[in-house]
Structure 1
Amino acid sequence: MAKIEQLELNAQRERLNADVKKMVEKYRSIFEWDVPDIDQALADRLIVAAIRQALDNIENALPGPAPT
């Protein structure tokens, strides 16, 4: 049986995805202010990579072993 934490995450997964998408859109709009002829696809990929790196940094700073 799944742990309660996993069940709660599953219940919130759609909301989490929507929040991350909004974060990408937020930073894309900041890029657009600074770079008028922006390559939107490239900007999105760079933003996603930066978010992924930030998540890795946060995960590495957490105490205890990674979940399985």
Structure 2
Amino acid sequence: MPHLEQLELEAHREQLEADVRQLVDKYLTIAEWDVPEINEPLAITLIITAVRQALDRIEHAQPGSAPA
């Protein structure tokens, strides 16, 4: 049986994904201001990688997380 936390997250999963997409779009827009001829697919890949790295750092900073 799923935990209550899992059920609660499922209720918000679509909004969470939409928020992450907006975050990627936000940083793509900022990059395009600085470099108008930017390679969008590459920029998106780099932004997503940076978001993943940030999530990893946040996850490892949580109490009770295993050291990296």
Poorly superposed stretches of 4+, deviation over 2 Å: none
Unaligned runs of 5+ in 2: none
* Normalised TM-score (structure 2): 0.92
* 2:45 match: 45
Q: Which has the higher contact order (CA 8 A, sep 6+)?
A: 1
User: How well do the aligned residues superpose, as a CA RMSD in angstroms?
Assistant: 1.1
> Are 2:21 and 1:28 aligned?
no
> How many positions carry a matched residue from both structures?
66
Q: TM-score, normalised by structure 1?
A: 0.92
Structure 1 stretches lacking a partner, 5+ long = none
- Per-residue deviation, residues 7-56 of structure 1 (Å, max 9, x unmatched): 00111100000000000000000000000110000000000000000000
Alpha-carbon deviation of 1:65? 4.4
Q: Sequence identity, in percent? A: 59
Match of 2:13 in 1: 13
Amino acid at match of 2:34: D
- Quote the Cα distance in structure 2 between the aligned partners of 1:17 and 1:31: 21
Q: Secondary structure at the match of 2:53?
A: helix
